[in-house]
Amino acid sequence: MISSWLPIIILLTACTQVINMKISSPDFDKEIPSKFTCDGEDIPPVLNIDSIPENTKTLAMIMDDPDAKGWVHWVEYNIPVGSPLQKGEQGMNSWPTNGYKGPCPPSGTHRYVFKVYALGTELNLPEDTTSKDLLKAMESHILAKAELVATYSRQ
């Protein structure tokens, strides 16, 4: 009787592989410098992705502010593996414009979450793709995910 469970146990073990993909930035550690915000040049920071799964076709990225009810600052997808994150297709942020819009909290300190996804496919999406559209489109294609959280307070 136990031998009939063996294929199920092996299958479950094979599906629980942990991939430790990591995201970091040489531009900041825990606090985002004003250069990358509405108080500065409002340019995107450099993000480094390590330990990307071998079968990754493209990367996708969403940056949002959970302290502002998920206000979206950056949506990007179809980023070629091994290229800077600014080399993908730009989706719609919450302003709504395409591309990066840096932190600009109305008051206090806000958290900003950079979420990077390794995908097993390239996505065919329109220019007005929002973070919700992207999440839905990549739902069954995510191989790994990494997050980087940093804060910013206006001066």
State what percent of residues in the chain have pLDDT above 90.
83
Domain ranges of the chain: 18-153
CA distances from residue 146 to 95, 96, 105 in whole angstroms, order as listed: 25, 25, 24
Give the pLDDT of residue 85: 75
CATH number, domain 18-153, options 1.50.10.10, 3.30.420.40, 2.70.240.10, 3.90.280.10: 3.90.280.10
Structure tokens at 95: 């302003």
Give the pLDDT of residue 66: 98
Please state whether beta strands 142-153 and 89-90 pair in parallel, antiparallel, or not at all (unpaired).
Answer: unpaired
Q: State pTM to two decimals.
A: 0.86
User: pLDDT of 67-118, one tens digit each?
Assistant: 999 999 999 999 999 877 778 999 999 999 999 999 999 999 999 999 999 9
109-119 β-sheet, strand order: 89-90, 71-80, 58-65, 109-119, 142-153
State what percent of residues in the chain have pLDDT above 70.
87
Query: If you average pLDDT over residues 35-60, what whole number do you get?
Result: 96
pLDDT band (50, 70, 90) for residue 17 = very low
pLDDT at 146 over 90: yes
Element (H, E) at 150: strand 142-153
pLDDT at 19 over 90: no
